[in-house]
Chains A and B, each alone.
Chain A
Amino acid sequence: MDLFEYQGKQYFARYGIAVSPGDVADTVEAAIAVAERVGYPVVVKAQVKVGGRGKAGGVKLANNVDEVRTHAGNILGLDIKGHVVRRLWIERSSDIAKEYYASFTLDRPNKTHLGMLSAQGGVEIEIVAEENPEAIAFLSIDPVRGLDLATSRRWVAEAELDEVAREQTAELLVKLYDCYTEGDCDLAEINPLILTPEGVVHALDAKVTLDENASFRHPEWEAFREDEFEDPREKMAKAKGLNYIGLDGTVGIIANGAGLAMSTLDVVNQVGGTAANFLDIGGGANADVMAAALELINADPKVKSIFVNIFGGITRVDEVAQGVLEALERVKITSPIVLRLDGTNAEAGRALLAPHVSANLMTEPTMLDAARRAVALAK
């Protein structure tokens, strides 16, 4: 789950990382109230989960109440690359002497954590990495040992941060590492991490991605889930516990397992069709899950046919077949369903469906055959 900037800053604050004083506002009046409270000048910032908001006019400096009113009014409702701004973050403006970059993420090839620190922040780190890789100090961190202050001190020196910023940054990085690990982040990034003319280091932005597998130990994440989904289909899927991504095609896809679901998309594409979605019903899916999946796909008006591709392992095919039949009893499925069933208890599953086969419910022996049939029906 990607967090909004304001959520990221709230998360940073839990771990003692200094951020600018500020608050969220959903209306112009609320924006003015925050500005009056934190003191001028303030920065009015659009809260969208997409880069390039500054260039799109989503970040403005306001020196007084009138400017806050103007900017907040202009930014609320602004469309930034398809993301409509519904919420603002208003914070006290900071004078900037230097901009740095700091982040932690998983180094998958090395199976360790990776810290990146640069004295050249404020710009896209990918560009720095490409054009001037020696400007980034990389630190490989053993997940068992973690990051201690002594190592962090050596790291800020290696990154050649300004002397005055080093001790503060070293301490901040240990806190950011705690936030990244204890806080179960896939990514914790500060860009820019600033040094003010007064010699104070703090986070001016926050980019945080949470590892949803760790939700069970973070009840506080519930607050972040509001406004998480833009696509109503995805919101509905989440409510039903389904792993769904909305796409633009006409063949609804239901598969068990992420790999098979991806492969199903590929095969539909190869035989000349387009997928309406990615939907992995997961391991151990039962009748209820299958019924919920069919209902979800049925609610998508673009769908012209539904391809159910199941290879049972931990998932038992007879339960999946039962789910299809239950769903057909519960709701009117408007598109024809093509099933391909193999694996654990596949014989029993096919036998369950056999008496119900019709022009709206059919089985095919292979994945390719089923893809061709579903694509033909969608045309």
Chain B
Amino acid sequence: MSIFVDEHTKVIVQGLTGGQGRFHGLRNRDYGTQVVGGVTPGKGGADVEGIPVFNSVREAVDATGASASFVVVPPKFAANAIIEAAEGGITFIVCITEGIPARDEAVTYNRLVEEFPGVRLLGPNCPGIISPGKCNIGITSGDIALAGGPVGIVSRSGTLTYQALHELSQQGVGQTTCVGIGGDPVPGTNFIDCLAAFQADPETKAVMMIGEIGGSEEERAAEWIKLNMTKPVVAYVAGVTAPPGRKMGHAGAIISGSKGTAQAKMEALRDAGVHVCANPTEAGAKMVDIVRAM
């Protein structure tokens, strides 16, 4: 099984007529994802290589029965696009947009929680989600993933998500689902949401977790793992050599004072019984060992 999405998930792309939306939307469809529509205000009635375009999410949902949306619009429009998706009846929203102001993210997250409790937001600033062989929503290259499980992947960093997939697929170890939660300060979906879903998914036998400096999500995840997780977890945390006080690209990746260091996160995870590795390659090799011993 997969988490959050599967082969029946119908997806619309908000921003399908833009450069990035078109490239990745079509790539997702080529992968086999049911990309059933696009949304661009004012361009309703057009189509992108056979995918119908609608003026609003509501129209697209009414016409296609989509339940998921891939939001790929510029930062200044992203918050409104997410809310429009929720209002239009979408229950799973993937937003890859990088550079959304933290204030907009905080308001959007809390509006979703208060007004649309059944809606899950993945991202923003994330690579998306791929359930190999079933569904790919986002910007992950489908050919680096391998279907059939048994590993679930959850990662805060985009490119390191690809690296993790690559390390496993090369060794013939497949994935149930790979979720990129994104590196922004207010992620819609966090480590614990994904760990809980993987723990509950019978086909996922082990979980690979990729963290990075900043915030305390890894520490919170460690606490949760300690209390609830029975499946083996392998983790890698990026940024051991990052200097304090400097934002390492992601809005969330910053060591402030003594908080948020890679060392503290690795210690917390180790203490929770997680296999903590020094780099993505080691983490991949460790996971391969675990899976082969099953």
List of B residues within 8 angstroms of A282 by Cβ: 98, 249
Q: Scan A71-111; emit 1 where CB is below 8 A from any B CB, else 0.
A: 00000000000000000000000000000000000101101
* Size category of the binding interface on chain A: 35 or more
Confirm or deny: A6 has a beta carbon within 8 angstroms of a beta carbon on chain B: no
Give the Cβ gap from A129 to chain B, nearest Cβ, in Å.
11
Q: For residue B6, give the distance in angstroms from its CB to the closest CB of chain A.
A: 22
B216/A367 in contact, CB under 8 A: no
B106 touches A111 (CB 8 A): yes
A275 touches B110 (CB 8 A): no
Interface residue ranges of B213-231 to A (CB < 8 Å):
213, 215-217, 220
- A299 at the A/B interface (Cβ < 8 Å)? no
Closest to B160 in A: A259
A46 is an interface residue with CB less than 8 A from chain B? no
Given A184-B103, A214-B101, are A262 and B238 neighbors across the interface (CB < 8 Å)? yes
A267 to B281, CA, bound (A): 10
Bound Cα distance A312, B23 (Å): 13
In the complex, A322 has a CB within 8 A of chain B:
no
Q: Determine if B139 is an interface residue (Cβ-Cβ < 8 Å).
A: yes
Say yes or no: B185 contacts A311, CB within 8 Å.
no
Are A258 and B183 in contact, with the CB atoms below 8 A? yes
In Å, the complex CA distance between A110 and B80 comes to: 22
Once A216-B76, A259-B238 are accepted as A-B contacts, the answer to whether A367 and B281 lie under 8 Å apart by CB is yes
Is A144 an interface residue when CB atoms closer than 8 A count as contact?
Answer: yes
1/0 per residue, CB under 8 A from B, across A267-289: the answer is 10110000100101011100000
Distance, CA A257 to CA B166, complexed state (A): 16
Q: In the complex the two chains form, is B107's CB within 8 Å of A269's CB?
A: no
Q: Within 8 Å of chain A (Cβ to Cβ): is B210?
A: yes
Residue pair A344, B278 in contact (C-beta under 8 Å): no
> A106 to chain B: which residues have CB within 8 Å?
102, 106, 185-186
Given contacts A266-B279, A311-B163, contact A283 B251 (CB under 8 A): no
Q: Please determine whether B20 and A260 come into contact, CB atoms closer than 8 angstroms.
A: no
Which residues of B pack against A, CB within 8 Å?
20, 24, 75-76, 96, 98-103, 106-107, 109-111, 114, 127, 139-141, 144, 155-160, 162-163, 166, 183, 185-186, 210, 212-213, 215-217, 220, 236, 238-243, 246, 248-253, 257, 262, 278-281
Which residue numbers of A lie inside 8 Å of B, CB to CB? 106, 108-109, 111-113, 126, 142-144, 181, 184, 186, 211, 213-214, 216-217, 243, 245, 247, 255-263, 265-267, 269-270, 275, 278, 280, 282-284, 311-314, 342-344, 366-368
Closest 9 A/B residue pairs (Cβ): A259-B157, A258-B249, A257-B159, A260-B159, A214-B101, A143-B106, A259-B160, A280-B249, A262-B238
